Structure 1
């Protein structure tokens, strides 16, 4: 890019903090940095026209884990680790709500439901058996029982007769959340440069030289918040994980309200504006979905359409209006990586599909590292 003297001096000179990624983590990091350093020059670089990754692509679940997810986590984590993860998700959601306000993000406390397929009797019975034990584990966090059993009031088909209900979960409007975060950031005199891809960086003395597809410049500190794309810039163990989603056209008299997990959480759906938003199916092709390519595949999209018509809305004609995908960052542990990479480079990545819940908190922690 042929930049002028004015462009370099106004946008790319004397930069104190550069954040890579304008998702939930990057924007919250920028807001926290502005609190810590009121007069600093803060620049955010975003490779997309809009925020890429998962921040604007997710389902908008304000959740902290279904019963089967928590039981599965206990197979690879200690009780203390699982409890701390739930606390972090709750604290992150609270921070998000405090930062933007419930009305702004259209937060609705409609509860969350876990459904079990008719062939999943063993998992269903295990969850029922362990329900009281997990309620006891989580009681200090919520000061109440989290999980209860409810009948099939939404008339789903091909599932067990009861759901596991989580009274503390809710949903948000992802688009409103991100739009409001972007407004808040720009109103705090933080510059966002879109369509700029960071190709690499080198550290020299008290500065970091940032190399992009359009220009090179220097910054005092570099903070990387690219989650599922982290391995393109860092050596951290972050695998990309694509999530495919569809949304229906408006459905008259839609009776389904809440957030829903199905088949160990590999499928998830919710109501939004008289529509059903439905995503998942990564378990059909784990290796194929370990990609940073935004696309849909026939096997997953056909399965989503089939479950929608046979299980979720078996007696209602439904049309698909739109399909998309997002890229998460996952690893062997359900723990975000928030740490210094070197003297002047830091990262907050690998949110493990929990971006809505912990993204605000990780962004704040990333800024506090500086």
Structure 2
């Protein structure tokens, strides 16, 4: 089989190699169909983020997966089933969170992640996965099944927002989403599915992103100042500090799903801080996802419009040209690599 390999921080060393088919008794054998490129993959390849498998000088990238089962050790899965693989694995000790399969809340940092931290990813034509870490997908999803992992991140964000709102006795009627990338658009999808009034803000003024938002029945803005509606929940997907503060100022519950990275410090308006305290507001971060979130994501995708989901996939590259996905093109939403 053929597989992508990368050396973190050395994009020029990226390549496609021949590897033997994996053989791990007790695991599903899966034909890799598609993988999605996200910002984490770019940070690994370009900037050196991530951790190599022990004793290795390269790692197979990609954690957003879609595959078709070839063989299964359990009747839960059958040949031909569409599946996505879970990214994170619990730490070996385990910590209190990993001991109850809440590895997305790992407390000691000793978890591993496929394609990111110490484990090969899904960027290969054949891969295996323990049944516990595979999620069966609606067969009618087709290529849109590759959106399962980012949708799981969004499902977890909504779970955290819902828990905070319930604790605060907050009836959630509206949501503000900042950023119309894959995470923001999927957050909008789940908001619409919940019957909420959805407001999405991004910098672009026309093209695919505004169209995808309005097709959902949500409202699109290219300027946050134009959002005058009251919002109960905010899902911040950009990591841009002024937007973070503005979300925390406006919403009773804010979920931070974007990474700021290295930027110059931005002062915090004391009125925002005072508003959080005096308003009993909640600001939480979220990263990765657990099994309940993957299952919720699979259900949300199953219920979504197929044309709308396929509209998120804006570019498709062959495995031999997977590094072309590093360069973002105008109107890109989700770029995928075809492993077949």
TM-score by structure 1 length? 0.24
- Bigger relative CO (Cα 8 Å, ≥ 6 apart): 1
Larger Rg, first or second structure (1 or 2): 1
